[in-house]
Structure 1
């Protein structure tokens, strides 16, 4: 279950497609239609920003429990930066990133199914991870959980990160997701117009957003593969212990 957590959005792809079955554009208002689409994009970009900050502030040589819940530095629990706001900032980022995509078809059923599936699925993962961390760090971890919420940020708890921000690390980690979100929403825009209007239309705004994101993706890909500008020390993918999955 833990190993395949990243495939949840793919498994729910048919739900997103079905959301367009009764898709309707706001009557007589292209502006309102575009505004709703940009709100969805903004929600997804907020999730990506959270992920970007978590990755950028992760210390050199850090290890991840599943690359998601908490990262460790030199065998100690790291609780500053984004991890001072909530215990699972990457899961929060994942939730918002996908929420914007699932909101795009404007189907309440699709959103309810997504939120329910996300919570049921990730709850199992979080339980397993927290049991593991409690055994590993004992009272230190329990004290952190008492003052830090599970996934809803408490901005009053903010503690300045101990390590400097690395744009290179953040770009290397997140550039594919940034392009992916814009690409998926561009396709959804075209599909939505096709369903609502009965013809394929190319909205100049979404064409421009797609081309900009594509140029960004290709630029970062080139810098990553052909230059040393984004070179960073390869991180460990997991700490040397198996993270248990909660019993279902």
Structure 2
């Protein structure tokens, strides 16, 4: 059965989802060899504005993830990779607008990074890749949640779209918004976004111009992001400052 095949593929993609997208890096590098079309044809300021828009879109995707994890209880919406985990069925907050808010946020981030390369073919490839990739992972999670929660899951699925959020129907979660939960769970994603943009900028300079153009803005952004990342990582691993009861 095609559905069973998709679910099996989704199991594999779910387990290795932190690494699967690395397969797109060689394609991105090939794109960078052609330079930045916006700067080449329109100039530095339009290129600066374009890059700023891409960065803003990426952090909008991170904001979707942040609003999601700020409300979720412990044992849900985690970064587990070996198996599906869901102690409860989340149906409020972002989950009242879309059944897969974290994947929706990820898709925004990945597309923003693809757009940042200014390679139209890479953008198309990334979009097609995400359709196939996310379809299979979501199918796997749906099979798991159906088996675990049965009718409750079906009733929720009938009301809420699978991926693209509806614009109304927000249901306030019982738990309060927890910025500590966001900082504890999303600091690595925050620095990964910065690293991706800095790497694209640096490798683009090397591949197109033969050397790195040391832009102080990107250098400061990377150093500042790294300090925040290391600080939050230390707080998570060695203190209880980011711990929240029931989260």
Rounded Cα–Cα distance in structure 1 between residues aligned with 2:78 and 2:228: 30
Pick the structure with more helix per residue.
2
Change (3 A) 1:88 1:132: same
State the number of aligned residues. Answer: 231
Matches within 5 A, 1:112-127: 112-127=124-139
- Tell me which residue corresponds to 1:27: 41
Ranges in structure 1 where 5+ consecutive residues have no aligned partner: 236-248
Of 233, 240, 247, 1:221 maps to 233
Rounded Cα–Cα distance in structure 1 between residues aligned with 2:148 and 2:233: 38
- What's the offset of the Cα at 1:5? 2.0
Change (3 A) 1:44 1:71: farther
Asked if structure 2 preserves the Cα contact closer than 8 Å seen for 1:16 and 1:105, the reply is yes
Report SS of the residue matched to 1:15: helix
Of 88, 96, 112, 1:100 maps to 112
Asked if structure 2 preserves the Cα contact closer than 8 Å seen for 1:57 and 1:163, the reply is yes
Rounded Cα–Cα distance in structure 1 between residues aligned with 2:61 and 2:131: 16
Asked if structure 2 preserves the Cα contact closer than 8 Å seen for 1:71 and 1:77, the reply is no
- What's the offset of the Cα at 1:3? 1.0
Rounded Cα–Cα distance in structure 1 between residues aligned with 2:197 and 2:57: 12
Asked if structure 2 preserves the Cα contact closer than 8 Å seen for 1:86 and 1:152, the reply is yes
Asked if structure 2 preserves the Cα contact closer than 8 Å seen for 1:65 and 1:129, the reply is no
Rounded Cα–Cα distance in structure 2 between residues aligned with 1:234 and 1:103: 38
TM-score, with length taken from structure 1: 0.83
- What's the offset of the Cα at 1:199? 4.2
- What's the offset of the Cα at 1:149? 0.8
Change (3 A) 1:196 1:33: farther
Asked if structure 2 preserves the Cα contact closer than 8 Å seen for 1:37 and 1:104, the reply is yes
Matches within 5 A, 1:144-163: 144-163=156-175
Ranges in structure 2 where 5+ consecutive residues have no aligned partner: 1-11
77-86 or 224-233, larger mean C-alpha shift: 224-233
